[in-house]
Structure 1
Amino acid sequence: MKTLLPLLALLSLSGAAPRRATAPEPKYPVSAIPASLREGAHAVVRAHDEAVVVKSASRLVHTVHRVITVLDNAGDDFGGLGVGYDALNSLSYLRGAVYDANGRLLHQLRPAEIRDQGVGSQGSNFMSDVRVRYADLRQPQTPYTVEMDYEIVSDNTLFYPDWQPQKSEGLAVESARLRVTMPPTMPLRYQERQLPAGVKVQRSVAGTQEVYQWELSNLPALEEEEAAPPLEELAPAVVLAPGAFEVQGYRGTADSWQSLGKWNYELNAGRDVLPPATQAKVAALVKDAPDERSRVQRVYELLQSSTRYISVQLGLGGWQTFPATAVAGSGYGDCKALSNYTKAMLAAAGVPAYVALVGAGDEEADVRPDFPSAQFNHVIVCVPLTKGARPDTLWLECTSQTEAFGYMGSFTGNRHALLLTPTGGQLVATPRYGAQENRLERRIDVFLDALGGATATARTLRTGQEQDHYAQLLHALSPAEQKKYVTERLKLPTFTLTKFNLAATTAGAHLPAVVETLGLSLPGFAPPAGKRVFVNPNLLSRLPALPALAGERQADVLLPRASLHADTVRLHLPASFKAETLPTAVQFSSAYGNYSSEFRSLPDGTVQYIRRVELKRGRLPRTAYAGYVDFRRKISIADKAQVVLVKTES
């Protein structure tokens, strides 16, 4: 009080009043957003500024300032932010604030409101030091604006941050900037993707440092189009990668696939030595195998029966494998460890093999061959067969106890992989699965009764990538759960599933296959209309039409999978009916695929319907969409063709 009284007296004598705290000036009012950016948008990026400062080959600092206005409830996910960190990437700070529509501060994020949790920490097959701090500033009333700042200090310079401010549908961008600062001895490697005309890197010098800067502004919201590549392949981006890097004392370069592969190979060198007992076990296992392929298959079956998969993301353990001795002793490992262990067992069986890095995932884009960098998330094994009548190459997925021998499927097939060899990396293609491998062959017998009801049996053989999802169902769900899953997805108006079975089998060329057997009761399937009955025999394979082009097409046309669907349906008629009119045969071909269907009356009075659809894989220019719509429209029309039955005179 003694220190305060003279001050208060002085203020009183001078006639001055104590200063009141003033409210902060409004920030980011919604009214300032251009109308062109609000159109079709659920949220608008007001500012997205990233700065990457590369301190050395072993350290970089990444700071982000992000401001997003959420316009409606569909954009609410942008009101929160999760930032990951681990032993090699420390999170210096995470700050946030939220403003109302007029830009007035509603709330400042408090440290106690930030949730910190491990990634996969509750899973029994996950060992990870990765954690996420999550800040949730979503508001019950829109619009509102969220401002977030955070900084990551990384000792893992194998990865540089990528910059893509517009990753989602319905997200517009008012302003965004990327600034990268590099030591003069370390030129930046970067690739510009889908940048608007006129946008390019601006280079300058700040002291002794090289500065690279990109700016984007006034990007309208993107809309996902039918049969288009993922939005992340269409939105503007700058991808960064190191030349030289260092991770926990392990130095390397990534300016070529050869050098990047060499670093990975040397990081794991000497870790593929098996215990003597395991070597002896493998030798005994393959001693009477007739050829290389048989030896590889026996080793693979041993792997599947004696190991299980766990994920390891612990510091350098994200790239450096457990030794093969550890896997032999424990029976578990991650994709690196199990692949390294498989390679070691194959060596003991006298079969050379290579570990390979791959970008795995059903929807994962292939690596960019023209930009060597760490674009991989999985490890598999490549086995070149050098002996025998003809050379061949086997690929092994070592993390699955159920995957078919030599099969990659949708997860790792139809893409590139980086072989790790003593002389460095080699970018090669994994198995390509086309229409002949990805088949669906269905035989349906429909037994009509005179009142319009029917029963049916359906046997469907799926091979290659067509069976991938059903193979997962087979191993992940109980028979009752499988039946429920299939029942919910049968596109029939009224039916009862009277019989159901899924079973794994194999097709030609060692392809995995799944056979589905259904029994169906179809009341009211084809009710008589007077003397006639109209029947569409295509019960389960109709391909819907696509929406017509509403405006100017923006994206390429992506046909993600080649496949061949062949259906044979036989209509068994009651004695009082015969076929009166059969649809004419249909056949057409295009750049998108081929279609044919035909109807025939058989000598025993049944009507046979045969349909064949081959869909091609590829990426076509956006101008091809109209042709693709027409192709699908023709198929949809043909798939609705009806057989006309007439009641015979008694």
Structure 2
Amino acid sequence: MKAKNLLALLFAVPLSGAPRFAPVGAPEPKYSVATIPAALREGAHAVLRADDEVVTVKSAGRLVHTVHKVITVLDAGGDAFGRTTVGYDALNAIGYLRGAVYDADGRLLHQLRASEIRDQGVGDAGGSLMTDVRVRYADLRQPQVPYTVEFDYEVVSDNTLFYPTWQPQDEEGLAVQSATLRVSTPAALPLRYQERQWPAGAPLQHTRAGSQEQYAWALADRPALDEEDNAPPLADTTPGVALAPGAFEVQGHAGSASTWQSFGQWNYELNAGRAVLPPATIAKVAELIKDAPDPRTRVARLYNLLQGSTRYISVQLGLGGWQTFPASAVATSGYGDCKALSNYTMALLATAGVPAYVALIGAGSDHADLRPDFPSNQFNHAIVCVPLASAGRPDTLWLECTSQTTALGYMGSFTGNRHALLLTPKGGQVVATPRYRCADNRRERRIDLYLDAAGAATATARTLRTGQEQDTYAQLLHELGPTEQKQYVAEHLRLSTFTISRFGLAAAPGAGTPGVVETLGLALPGYAPPSGKRVFVSPNLLSRLPALPAQVGTRQTALWVPRASLQADTVQLHFPAGFQPETLPAPVQMATAYGNYSAQYQALPDGTVRYVRRLEMPRLHLPAASYAGYVDFRRKISAADRAQVVLLKTDV
């Protein structure tokens, strides 16, 4: 810089009289919002300015993960990015956690102090009683946007079963300016990785220096995304890299994750010899099954014993995250985590002469299915698989061992429709859990709707939900009282003005797919007010399916409907004296790749009108180009669901 320009800069004073240069000793501004390209600010709540992560594999039993992350929060919608949480436990130690926050011009506002970092234990909704998992939490959110936060931390892990997964753009409304991942590993411990949704033109850089191998990935200039309707999760649509070990070691227990067979073998051997029951429990089993005619009956009785005598806690103590309590400990204490309860169940069944296996699974209605082409730890739960045979054909039973209320053999939204890793003496084997189709996930409703001459209505409704359609309601039934149940149902009725005059929730009788029956009495003031001599009545009281918004721009993601369902509605319309149907809507029948829909109306001899509606929708995962057809299908359903019966007043 020329001297005269430097002097001009130093002595330039804005109209406000405040100097434009920083005080002596102040750090230079950085991360100014003005330097973010306009294309990245558009539609974004926050911009990831930098996400530089380094994974250093020290040995088969240790790795170090360092993170440097800078995020500019543009508006209140991105405020959650102003804080960070770093977990640790007996096998993972935090080396450091540092942070700073800057104003819109990039001037330092505040350095994170050690006293501002909160340290707390981690529990879960099921009542975690035995855990060493803790988190350190730092909050640098500011009252005025935009601002920029910078976080640095290091985690030293002695659990190399877990390698990090890197996916910088993991939130809606987050743009990415720059992100890098570097991995260094001994050549004797070659890295296993899987690039997911990786863009063309961003190749992996792989080099070798002496005994070390280096891997590097980089992403840049990725605009923010809005999650599209009926789209897969962002984890399935944005670029990422999953890492996994070949050889690993956890507290002296060495294994290999290079194949599912070897990974399952390690887990099986880790828990071998822990399925021995006390003599008193063995005697109890013998007494319980002495007159059981077949293996399925034995399984049912022992599952009832399990549910009535044990409870779930979470155990996450070092290797306890993977090595189970002995079955004898569960028999004595009556509690255990998913591994311990599954192991105990397997021991009960073995005593009864019924072979069974523990299976690892990724549980949760929003948990991604197993990626069978990338052997690695993708699990957070354990269940039991009982391979039976009926009439010479396989008849496998799956058991959820942590619940006192789940029906025998039912997996539901929690662990159904996905894959699990069966742990056998010969190693791991990938198998499928039950698939729940339309016929399993039913919602069958019968309504009697009574109109009066003034346009008010009352209704009685009985709704049977089965399979995944009943999962939420089964949870309500077993975990909440009648008042809370009624409140939940009231909040989810799509009615403008109503009063619930009667309410009940009960388990549906019968075997097979579990179900819940809901009974409702409704008062509906002003539901169908007269218009001259006519009354316009919408018979679809509770099952209207809303239309979807039209796609703006080009659809980017696949069409994704994760759950099959079958809805069957019958509504009987009862009219006051002096009214008769003048016009009934035309029947509707649609059979498409997206599902089947029908609606029919019939005037009955007793003076009532019957409305019958049926909607069958399979699980869908179709190309993005299919979305326009799905929107049209939903639009037609929505229009048909709003159709009205016209009544004519005849006594005038």
Scaled by the length of structure 2, what TM-score is found? Answer: 0.95
**Aligned 1:37-52 pairs, distance under 5 A:** 37-52=40-55
Paired letter, 2:370: V
Identify unmatched segments of 5+ residues in structure 1.
1-19
Q: Considering only aligned residues, what root-mean-square deviation do their CA atoms show, in Å? A: 1.2
Partner of 2:565: 563
1:602 aligns to 2:628 (yes or no): no
Aligned-pair distance for 1:388? 5.1
Partner of 1:243: 246
Aligned-pair distance for 1:411? 0.3
State the Cα deviation string for residues 575-608 of structure 1 (Å, max 9, x = none).
2111110001000111110000000001101000
State the Cα deviation string for residues 271-321 of structure 1 (Å, max 9, x = none).
000001101100110110111111000000000000000001110000100
Asked if the contact 2:251–2:319 (Cα under 8 Å) also holds between the matched residues in 1, the reply is yes
Partner of 2:101: 98
Name the CA distance, whole Å, in 2 between partners of 1:623 and 1:403.
Answer: 39
1:281 aligns to 2:249 (yes or no): no
**In structure 2, the residue corresponding to 1:81 is in which secondary structure?**
strand
Partner of 1:365: 368
Identify unmatched segments of 5+ residues in structure 2.
1-22
Partner of 1:254: 257
Aligned-pair distance for 1:391? 2.9
Name the CA distance, whole Å, in 2 between partners of 1:558 and 1:506.
Answer: 33
Name the CA distance, whole Å, in 2 between partners of 1:79 and 1:649.
Answer: 69
Paired letter, 1:519: G
Asked if the contact 2:126–2:313 (Cα under 8 Å) also holds between the matched residues in 1, the reply is no
Asked if the contact 1:463–1:507 (Cα under 8 Å) also holds between the matched residues in 2, the reply is no
Partner of 1:187: 190
Partner of 1:12: none
**In structure 2, the residue corresponding to 1:516 is in which secondary structure?**
strand
Aligned-pair distance for 1:208? 2.3
Name the CA distance, whole Å, in 1 between partners of 2:38 and 2:497.
Answer: 49
Partner of 1:469: 472
Name the CA distance, whole Å, in 2 between partners of 1:121 and 1:524.
Answer: 46
Partner of 1:511: 513
Asked if the contact 2:51–2:67 (Cα under 8 Å) also holds between the matched residues in 1, the reply is yes
Partner of 1:374: 377
Aligned-pair distance for 1:555? 0.7
Name the CA distance, whole Å, in 2 between partners of 1:255 and 1:476.
Answer: 42
1:426 aligns to 2:423 (yes or no): no
**In structure 1, the residue corresponding to 2:198 is in which secondary structure?**
coil
Asked if the contact 2:245–2:258 (Cα under 8 Å) also holds between the matched residues in 1, the reply is yes
State the Cα deviation string for residues 410-456 of structure 1 (Å, max 9, x = none).
00000000000000000000000000000000000011111111111
State the Cα deviation string for residues 1-43 of structure 1 (Å, max 9, x = none).
xxxxxxxxxxxxxxxxxxx952111111111100010001111
1:153 aligns to 2:156 (yes or no): yes
Partner of 1:298: 301
Name the CA distance, whole Å, in 2 between partners of 1:245 and 1:398.
Answer: 29
Asked if the contact 2:92–2:155 (Cα under 8 Å) also holds between the matched residues in 1, the reply is yes
**Aligned 1:97-116 pairs, distance under 5 A:** 97-116=100-119
Name the CA distance, whole Å, in 2 between partners of 1:151 and 1:290.
Answer: 59
State the Cα deviation string for residues 483-510 of structure 1 (Å, max 9, x = none).
11111221112111110000012456x1
Gap change, CA 1:478 and 1:121, over 3 Å in 2: closer
State the Cα deviation string for residues 79-115 of structure 1 (Å, max 9, x = none).
1000001100000000111111111111111100100
1:619 aligns to 2:621 (yes or no): yes
**In structure 2, the residue corresponding to 1:428 is in which secondary structure?**
strand
Partner of 1:128: 131
State the Cα deviation string for residues 161-183 of structure 1 (Å, max 9, x = none).
11111100110011111000010
**Aligned 1:2-401 pairs, distance under 5 A:** 22-120=25-123, 124-386=127-389, 390-401=393-404
Name the CA distance, whole Å, in 1 between partners of 2:229 and 2:214.
Answer: 40
Paired letter, 1:197: A
Name the CA distance, whole Å, in 2 between partners of 1:103 and 1:522.
Answer: 59
Aligned-pair distance for 1:390? 3.9
Name the CA distance, whole Å, in 2 between partners of 1:219 and 1:265.
Answer: 43
Aligned-pair distance for 1:126? 2.9
Name the CA distance, whole Å, in 1 between partners of 2:227 and 2:31.
Answer: 28
Name the CA distance, whole Å, in 2 between partners of 1:48 and 1:353.
Answer: 45
Partner of 1:552: 554
Name the CA distance, whole Å, in 1 between partners of 2:101 and 2:87.
Answer: 21
State the Cα deviation string for residues 305-353 of structure 1 (Å, max 9, x = none).
0000000111000010000000000000000000000000001111000
Paired letter, 1:82: T
Name the CA distance, whole Å, in 1 between partners of 2:128 and 2:459.
Answer: 43
Partner of 2:12: none
Name the CA distance, whole Å, in 2 between partners of 1:423 and 1:244.
Answer: 18
Asked if the contact 1:291–1:388 (Cα under 8 Å) also holds between the matched residues in 2, the reply is no
Name the CA distance, whole Å, in 2 between partners of 1:617 and 1:506.
Answer: 27
Name the CA distance, whole Å, in 1 between partners of 2:509 and 2:458.
Answer: 29
Partner of 2:19: none
Paired letter, 2:189: M
Name the CA distance, whole Å, in 2 between partners of 1:493 and 1:168.
Answer: 34
Asked if the contact 1:121–1:128 (Cα under 8 Å) also holds between the matched residues in 2, the reply is no
1:501 to 499, 504, 507: 504
1:647 aligns to 2:652 (yes or no): no
Runs of 4+ residues deviating >6 angstroms: none
Asked if the contact 1:187–1:243 (Cα under 8 Å) also holds between the matched residues in 2, the reply is yes
1:579 aligns to 2:581 (yes or no): yes
Name the CA distance, whole Å, in 2 between partners of 1:269 and 1:208.
Answer: 36
Asked if the contact 1:324–1:344 (Cα under 8 Å) also holds between the matched residues in 2, the reply is yes
Name the CA distance, whole Å, in 2 between partners of 1:113 and 1:21.
Answer: 27
Partner of 2:633: 631
Asked if the contact 2:126–2:312 (Cα under 8 Å) also holds between the matched residues in 1, the reply is no
State the Cα deviation string for residues 37-82 of structure 1 (Å, max 9, x = none).
0001111111100000001110001000001111111111111000
Gap change, CA 1:97 and 1:486, over 3 Å in 2: same
Moved more, 292-301 or 382-391: 382-391
Aligned-pair distance for 1:205? 2.0
Asked if the contact 1:309–1:399 (Cα under 8 Å) also holds between the matched residues in 2, the reply is yes
Paired letter, 1:307: T
Partner of 1:438: 441
Partner of 1:538: 540
Aligned-pair distance for 1:389? 5.2
Asked if the contact 1:254–1:373 (Cα under 8 Å) also holds between the matched residues in 2, the reply is yes
Identity %, equivalent residues: 72
Partner of 1:485: 488
**In structure 1, the residue corresponding to 2:387 is in which secondary structure?**
strand
Asked if the contact 2:360–2:421 (Cα under 8 Å) also holds between the matched residues in 1, the reply is yes
**In structure 1, the residue corresponding to 2:396 is in which secondary structure?**
strand
Partner of 1:5: none
**In structure 2, the residue corresponding to 1:298 is in which secondary structure?**
helix
Moved more, 519-528 or 543-552: 519-528
Name the CA distance, whole Å, in 1 between partners of 2:513 and 2:296.
Answer: 15
State the Cα deviation string for residues 537-572 of structure 1 (Å, max 9, x = none).
000000000000111111111011111000000001
Name the CA distance, whole Å, in 1 between partners of 2:510 and 2:640.
Answer: 30
Partner of 1:10: none
Aligned-pair distance for 1:387? 6.0
